[in-house]
Structure 1
Amino acid sequence: MAAEFIKLYAENPEIRKIERIVDVLRNGGVIIYPTDTIYGMGCDIRNQRAIERVARIKGINVKKSNFSFICYDLSNISEFTRALSTPVFKVMKKTLPGPYTFILEANNNVPKMLNSNKKTVGIRVPDHDIPRLLVKELGSPIITTSIRDEDDVIEYSTDPELIYEKYRDLVDIVIDGGYGQNVPSTILDGTSGVVELIREGLGPIDEIL
């Protein structure tokens, strides 16, 4: 059965459609959704079968995956990470919501969720209402992993209609939130107690490092 293709506007997403998508997530669905950077694929982090399905679609091993979590804000990050140092928390507070992924020390909840031995977790709070509202309505974060393109020139797919054509038989919902970016998030590592740059992406680093 082909995936649903749901149009949502970033500035004022229809709650009825958000609730429909969340219902699919609660039932183990896999979705593709817009963020403030590139389009992502994900599921409810509390659904092990859905996580394994995302890994199969991506062709990766769950235990070796580098999935990140999309959170609504900073308030529930302590559910998944060990205590943050003051310098790292200050940078997160300054930059989030925004196009950044923070690599942090995972607490004991994360390996259980991912069925892995992971010691770290990536945290995203995108500056985009659609994924944040999904997380808020769901009551738990969602996995995020990028939608990559096999094209030698275009690394990331930006057109939701083309994304739908490619993934319609693999996922349950593709959200059309308009054209996405083709630059991923900036990745910052906070595991040492200070913030270090891992990958420069869409998020500027001049004022934070």
Structure 2
Amino acid sequence: MLVYIDAERPAPRKLQPVIDALRRDQVVIYPTDTGYAFGGALSSAKAISRLRKLKGINPKHPKPLTMLVNDIADIGRYAHMGTSLYRLMKRLLPGPYTLVLRATSDTPRAMYNRNHEVGIRIPDSPVCRMLVDLLGEPLLTGSVTPAEEQFDLEEPEMLEHRFSRDVAVVIHAGPLWPDPSTVLKCTDDEIEVLRQGQGELPF
């Protein structure tokens, strides 16, 4: 199912079928500031399992899953952060960054790795913000195009055809070029760059 929206001015009523699917533990495809992504409700164990399968991530793999939230206060609920990290977030977010942080007990166990690390993003995207608002909880996320693959233009119609058996809804916001986020590991005193993406390094 394709749902057509204006990426800059999304209408809540047009996103309702997406929200309904998310609340039924289903996976959707939606546009972000880094390309199209798989999404599910953070509270849905089924959606987390399905997203892992789509991404080919084994539960024992050291790579944690990532969630989207709308503000830094929400990050504080799901991950540990100190004063210096808070100041860094104020500089970088919203934007094309994924922060790998130490998860709190509010984060589902299936989201983090053996080191209790979880990825968190606040993307610069009206669609993402509205989805999180309407859903009433964070949105788990994973890019449709792996960062290590050669980039091809992501066409919503092609994504719907390719993943018709795996996702309930594809939000159509036009073709997008996937452009991965910069991934920063912030679990210790120092910041480690795990991947240089479109976000400029903060140092």
Q: 2:78 aligns with which of 77, 80, 83?
A: 80
Aligned-residue identity in percent: 34
For residues 12-33 of structure 1, the C-alpha deviation after alignment (integer angstroms, 9 at most, x for no partner) is 1111022221121111110011
Structure 1 residue ranges without an equivalent (≥5): none
1:16-165 → structure 2 map (5 Å cutoff): 16-64=13-61, 65-82=63-80, 84-112=81-109, 114=111, 117-148=114-145, 153-154=150-151, 158-165=154-161
Structure 2 residue ranges without an equivalent (≥5): none
Kindly state the Cα deviation for residue 151 of structure 1 after the two structures are TM-superposed: 10
1:180-191 → structure 2 map (5 Å cutoff): 180-191=176-187
> Compared with structure 1, are the counterparts of its residues 105 and 151 closer, same or farther at alpha carbon in structure 2 (3 Å cutoff)?
closer
The amino acid of 2:187's aligned partner reads T
Aligned-partner Cα distance in 2 for 1:152–1:103: 22
In structure 2, the partner of 1:173 is: 169
Moved segments of 4+, more than 6 Å:
149-152
For residues 108-165 of structure 1, the C-alpha deviation after alignment (integer angstroms, 9 at most, x for no partner) is 22243548645111110100011111011111111111112699643x5522222122
CA contact (8 A) 2:97 2:199 kept: yes
Q: 1:15 aligns with which of 12, 17, 20?
A: 12
SS at match of 1:202: coil
Q: 1:193 aligns with which of 179, 189, 192?
A: 189
- Equivalenced residues, count: 202
Aligned-partner Cα distance in 1 for 2:5–2:124: 16
C-alpha root-mean-square deviation of aligned residues, in Å?
2.2
CA contact (8 A) 2:3 2:15 kept: no
Comparing 102-111 with 118-127, which one deviates more in the overlay?
102-111
Kindly state the Cα deviation for residue 75 of structure 1 after the two structures are TM-superposed: 1.8
CA contact (8 A) 1:148 1:157 kept: no
For residues 73-93 of structure 1, the C-alpha deviation after alignment (integer angstroms, 9 at most, x for no partner) is 1121122112x1222211111
> Compared with structure 1, are the counterparts of its residues 149 and 159 closer, same or farther at alpha carbon in structure 2 (3 Å cutoff)?
farther
Q: TM-score, normalised by structure 2?
A: 0.90
